[in-house]
Structure 1
Amino acid sequence: MTSRDWQADRRAVFDRDDHACRHCEESGDAADPTALRTYPVGAVPLEGTVHESSLATVCTDCFETLQSASDSPASSAESVSSEALFRLVRETTRVQGGAIADVASFASLATSLPTTLADARAEADAAADSDSTFDAAVDETAAAYRDGRREALLALDVADARLERVRSVDGAAFDADVRSSLSTVTETATDLQSTLREAVARSEIVPVCLERCHGCFEPLEGDACSTCGLEVLETADWRGEEGVAFERLFSSINDSLQGASTTTETLTERTMTLATQLTES
């Protein structure tokens, strides 16, 4: 991620997000135009306009946290005290816990899309103004999907940034037991991030199977979304002779979430071991 000046209707993004950071919920200061920033989540075009569905409002502090993780040299090592490392690991664990909840919420929303749209179609068919009733229901569903996707992706990016801080800690100042525990905590947390991103990626397949963009949820035509410019995700693995194998796709998403749950238990145990070692050192 670079510090590119993302091009979009910033005011519309800020209004949509109630002028508050979508991570820490810090409200922006109307008198300070730099108090809030737009941050891109997920895949975005390398050049040109970025659709608002892929932009989240963040405060300056959260933006700098996100940027510092991507801008810092991979070889840089940070010397910290036992107390500082304890706080850093605890904060990283807290942030990652929030990411787990956001990803699970997004996955739940995504797997409900086929039923939600089918129910909306049935209700609309029974209404006097079928098309407008259905369009209103789709708009509501689209807004919820975009919000859930942004929340999950932003939470994962923040967790990645915190985890990068942990990786940058110079372990030379600690004894062998702490170094070993820190390494296992970092590796397990990294595995958890990968599993959570896998769950999000598979959840994004659901709207594409419904002929909707995985980013903005607008109808798809061609190889790229005409609204937000995202390339259409490949869905061949989830299609069969009878159409989309939603049950198999949903099972795959659930497997990822179950894997994340198992990894979280392991991470909790290893984090507690590290915390004990740090408080005793």
Structure 2
Amino acid sequence: MEPDARPWQADREAIFERDDHACRYCDSDSGSRTDSSSCRVAAVGDVDLEGTVHESALVTVCDDCFRTLHRSQDGVFDERTRLFETIRDVTRRQSDAISTVASFASLATQLPAAIEEGENDRATYVTARQDACLALAMVDATLDPLERAPAESDLEALAAGAADETGEAADETGEAADETGEANDDPPAETLSTTLESFCTAARSLQRDLREVVELSDGIAVGLGCCYGCFTGLEGADDPAVFDPDSSRQCPTCGLESPALEDWRDEDGDLAFDALYGAINDSLQASSKTTTALTARTQVVAECLFET
């Protein structure tokens, strides 16, 4: 079954109209606000792979972004330029994800004050969360084949200094022994495979940091008695069952299960919003540090690929 050939087909045009027939990720449009031929529907966030999906988890994407999200690309890279372009795509997409997730977190932390003042812009919240989930999904789709590359590609053949077309080493000074015939005691340089693995580890760590920001921001909505996905009110928000860490509440609108947030309640049973805000800030700070490490890893990979 096609990834978008799901029971939401009847509402597809409504999704396109809501998103103005433009891709929510790259902002490209179909060329006509009434032509949906190049638009696709994609589900974002933690949704079931089968069955109906509520509109709050659906976004419009262009054909190219849809292929990125759902491609079954292997991890085989036979050209160094293609490999490095994919690495740059990951770093670029993660930069976009940091900004998008931070914007969603900022909106979420303002929810208690906004609701207290009688402002409840459901559409703005849902849109911000969709954008954050879509940005993270695009990173995952680009990072996945890179993580498989060390096992599926002959990466060392792409490394700078590897054998050229004539079969001779590109770096004639890279001999295993010196002129006396003795082995070189210098520690071996990092291989392209190990540097790529280090890059992927840093990128995946950043993804975890950003997802934690989204999950903590979701907790604010739940603490206000709203579904973190569609932001509609939850039945039984004041029910004592919400204080049971083993219980959950299902949204009557979109079907998402909302956590009880027991770990984030104070002695009186009220949600400790300040603690959530602090945890969100800590996760954003962690993502900033990981970004610095990722930049360094990218430079090392570039040196392995292009410097002789």
TM-score band w.r.t. shorter chain: 0.7 to 0.9
Greater gyration radius: 2
Q: How many residues align?
A: 258
The answer to whether 1:173 aligns with 2:157 is yes
Q: How do residues 9-88 of structure 1 correspond to structure 2 at under 5 angstroms?
A: 9-30=11-32, 33-45=36-48, 47-68=50-71, 71-72=72-73, 76-88=74-86
CA RMSD of aligned residues (A): 2.0
Q: Which runs of 5+ in 1 are unaligned?
A: 121-136
> C-alpha distance in 2, partners of 1:26/1:63?
12
Q: Deviations over 1:212-259 (max 9, x none)?
A: 000010000152111111112231111122311001111111111111
Deviation at 1:14, TM superposition (A): 0.8
Q: For the structure 1 residues 156 and 245, does the alpha-carbon distance in structure 2 shift closer, same or farther, using more than 3 Å as the test?
A: same
Q: Residue in 1 aligned with 2:258?
A: 232
Residue 5 of structure 1: aligned partner? 5
SS of residue matched to 2:286? helix
Q: Which has the higher contact order (CA 8 A, sep 6+)?
A: 1
2:92 aligned with 1:89, yes or no? no
SS in 1 for 2:212: helix
The structure with the largest helix share of the pair is: 1
Once the two structures are aligned, what percentage of the paired residues are identical? 43
- Asked if the contact 2:4–2:41 (Cα under 8 Å) also holds between the matched residues in 1, the reply is no
* Partner in structure 2 of residue 259 of structure 1: 286
2 CA distance for matches of 1:261 and 1:149?
20
- Structure 2 runs not aligned, ≥5 long: 160-189, 237-248
Deviates more, 1:108-117 or 1:30-39: 30-39
Q: Separation in 2 of the partners of 1:29 and 1:210?
A: 41
In the alignment, which residue of structure 2 is the partner of 1:247? Answer: 274
Give the equivalent residue in structure 1 for 2:201: 187
Residue identity opposite 1:160 in structure 2: D
State whether residues 34 and 60 of structure 1, in contact with CA within 8 Å, keep that contact through their aligned partners in structure 2. Answer: no
Any conservation in 1 of the 2:22–2:62 contact (CA below 8 Å)? yes
Question: Which residue identity is paired with 1:264?
Answer: T
The equivalent residue for 2:234 is: 220
Q: Which moved more, 1:197-206 or 1:48-57?
A: 48-57
Residue among 155, 164, 188 paired with 2:135 = 155
Divergent runs of 4+, >3 A: 29-34, 45-48
Q: Is the partner of 1:244 in helix, strand or coil?
A: coil
Q: Which secondary structure does the structure 2 equivalent of 1:105 belong to?
A: helix
1:4/1:21 Cα in 2 relative to 1: closer, same or farther (>3 Å)?
Answer: closer
Distance apart, 1:271 and its partner CA: 0.7
Displacement of 1:159 in angstroms is: 0.5
Code of the aligned partner of 2:234: L
Shift in CA distance, 46/267, structure 1 to aligned 2, threshold 3 Å? closer
| Distance in 2 separating the partners of 1:6 and 1:149 | 22
1:271 is aligned to: 298
- Aligned to 2:258, the other structure's residue is in SS state coil
CA contact (8 A) 2:45 2:57 kept: yes
- Checking the alignment, whether the CA contact within 8 Å between 2:90 and 2:142 is kept in structure 1 is yes
Q: What is the CA-CA distance between 1:55 and the residue it aligns to? A: 0.4
Offset of 1:58 from its aligned partner? 0.4
Letter of the structure 1 residue corresponding to residue 290 of structure 2:
T
Q: Report the equivalent of 2:181.
A: none
Which letter maps to 2:143?
L
Deviation at 1:146, TM superposition (A): 0.5
TM norm structure 2: 0.78
- Structure 2 CA distance for partners of 1:60 and 1:220, relative to 1, 3 Å: same
* CA distance 1:85–1:45, change in 2 (3 Å): closer
CA distance in 1, matches of 2:65, 2:304: 30
SS in 2 for 1:58: strand
Cα distance in 1 for partners of 2:56, 2:266 equals 31
Counterparts of 1:260 and 1:280, CA distance in 2: 29
Structure 2 distance, partners of 1:11, 1:152, is 23
Contact persistence 2:4–2:42 (CA under 8 A): no
1:158-210 Cα offsets, whole Å, 9 max, x none, are 00011113223322434453222111101100111111111111110101000
Contact kept in structure 2, 1:113 and 1:207, CA below 8 Å: yes
Q: Give distance in 1, aligned partners of 2:206 and 2:2.
A: 24
